[in-house]
């Protein structure tokens, strides 16, 4: 009888927490437990952030779909950047509020922020960028969405244009089931790879993780330094030369993982000397502690409708190349105009945007 009472109590608390997440701004919420995450990678170990943890509430908030096309067309950078910052901040606030709610009931609970917090227990943690807890693994196991080939979580409602956060607790909540794989809309079109200038995801090799006896697969990710270089805004010109991210820099993007570390110091130095525009995230990993999203292309291109995916890809590849004016203003121009603009710069200024031979910089 006592066991039944405890189970009923947990069922009620689970439903209250799910309703709370939805009320506070999430569109989808799930519950993962130590049992449903068993056998997973280190970032599924809930006890890493809370000894005695039993479960986690994970939830998703959506970014504004109406801002994606102007972003890809390079008409408007600020609106989506601001929306991403504020939606991410809201997700963090939801996690904090839910943790406080659980604590008031006598449970231990710790909020897990949406991004920008990493494990510091390895020598190269700044480059490894391993999260304390992987929201993606919690989300796919608890039924929020599926893995797309990119490794991002995709949803039937908003594609992968979402942000995830979670709360880890010692309350024994009732787990939710993963979605049936046959409902996964990912057809491995790999448009997500085509919009990634850093070639972050391997086009052929996949990885498989086992979570609570269930297998999940996605494209193998290469070094995180690739994403750091391009999504972090240190450079942005696609290898084709025909389009760029919202970064005005044109430094060469290496082909091999091992070459990315060597490429970082000079691009970081240039990044710090370029004019800065207001906005973005505050993040300790980025030089100057400020990062504005200049890419996130894989994040935003994926949509349940393949025709929308194709249209967004075309918008991006037809959008031109970003240049930066002396006052910091970013402007999209044709590849030819961009090249002429860079060539007209003094060697001292040019080296902030592309590699300059030693003899030209003196």
The 10s digit of each residue's pLDDT in 108-160 is 999 999 988 888 887 776 667 788 999 999 999 999 999 999 999 999 999 99
Predicted pLDDT of residue 4 = 64
Residue 157 main-chain phi, psi, to 5 deg: -85, -45
Residues 250 and 163 in one domain: no
Range of the domain at 257: 224-351
Positive or negative, the CA dihedral 175, 170, 36, 298 is positive
Residues 267 and 331 in one domain: yes
339 pLDDT more than 90: yes
Predicted pLDDT of residue 2 = 59
Predicted pLDDT of residue 124 = 77
CA 106 vs. chain centroid, Å, equals: 33
Of the pLDDT bands very low, low, confident and very high (cuts 50, 70, 90), residue 102 is: very high
Global pTM reads 0.93
CA angle 232, 237, 243 (to 5 degrees): 120
Q: Is-contact 14 167, C-beta < 8 A? A: no
Residues 11 and 76 in one domain: yes
Asked whether residue 204 is domain-assigned, the answer is: no
What's the number of domains the chain is made of? 2
For 136-150, 179-193, 247-261, which range has the lowest pLDDT when averaged over its residues?
Answer: 247-261
Residues 49 and 112 in one domain: yes
Residue holding tokens 């004016």?
A: 325
For 4-13, 41-50, 51-60, which range has the lowest pLDDT when averaged over its residues?
Answer: 4-13
- CATH code, domain with 11: 3.40.109
Predicted pLDDT of residue 215 = 98
Residues 117 and 239 in one domain: no
Residue 61 main-chain phi, psi, to 5 deg: -115, 150
Q: Which residues contact 222 (CB under 8 A, 6 or more apart)?
A: 199, 200, 201, 202, 257
Q: Which of 152, 184, 216 is the last residue of a domain?
A: 184
Residue 163 main-chain phi, psi, to 5 deg: -130, 140
Q: Is-contact 47 59, C-beta < 8 A? A: no
In angstroms and rounded to an integer, the radius of gyration of the C-alpha atoms of the chain is: 22
74 pLDDT more than 90: yes
In this prediction, residues 71-79 reach a mean pLDDT of 96
Asked whether residue 209 is domain-assigned, the answer is: no
Residues 180 and 246 in one domain: no
């Amino acid at each position: 009888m006592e066991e039944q009472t405890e189970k009923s109590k947990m069922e009620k608390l689970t439903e209250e927490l799910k309703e709370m997440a939805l009320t506070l701004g999430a569109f989808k919420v799930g519950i993962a437990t130590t049992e449903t995450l068993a056998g997973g990678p280190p970032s599924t170990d809930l006890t890493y952030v809370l000894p005695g943890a039993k479960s986690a509430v994970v939830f998703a908030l959506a970014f504004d779909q109406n801002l994606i096309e102007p972003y890809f067309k390079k008409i408007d950078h600020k609106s989506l950047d601001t929306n991403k910052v504020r939606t991410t901040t809201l997700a963090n606030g939801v996690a904090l509020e839910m943790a406080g709610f659980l604590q008031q009931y006598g449970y231990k609970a710790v909020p897990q922020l949406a991004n920008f917090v990493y494990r510091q227990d390895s020598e190269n943690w700044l480059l490894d960028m391993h999260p304390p807890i992987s929201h993606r693994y919690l989300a796919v196991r608890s039924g929020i969405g599926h893995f797309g080939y990119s490794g991002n979580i995709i949803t039937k409602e908003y594609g992968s244009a979402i942000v995830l956060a979670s709360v880890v607790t010692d309350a024994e909540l009732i787990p939710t089931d993963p979605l049936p794989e046959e409902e996964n809309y990912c057809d491995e079109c790999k448009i997500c790879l085509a919009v990634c200038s850093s070639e972050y995801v391997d086009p052929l090799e996949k990885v498989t993780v086992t979570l609570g006896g269930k297998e999940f697969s996605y494209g193998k990710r290469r070094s995180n330094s690739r994403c750091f270089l391009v999504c972090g805004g240190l450079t942005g010109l696609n290898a084709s030369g025909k389009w760029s991210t919202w970064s005005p820099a044109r430094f060469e993007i290496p082909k091999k993982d091992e070459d990315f570390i060597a490429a970082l110091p000079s691009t970081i130095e240039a990044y710090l000397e370029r004019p800065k525009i207001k906005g973005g995230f505050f993040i300790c990993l980025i030089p100057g502690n400020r990062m504005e999203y200049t890419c996130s292309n894989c994040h935003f291109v994926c949509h349940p409708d393949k025709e929308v995916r194709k249209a967004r890809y075309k918008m991006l590849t037809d959008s031109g190349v970003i240049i930066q004016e002396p006052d910091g203003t970013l402007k999209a121009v044709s590849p030819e105009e961009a090249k002429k603009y860079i060539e007209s710069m003094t060697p001292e200024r040019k080296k902030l945007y592309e590699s300059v031979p030693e003899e030209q910089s003196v």
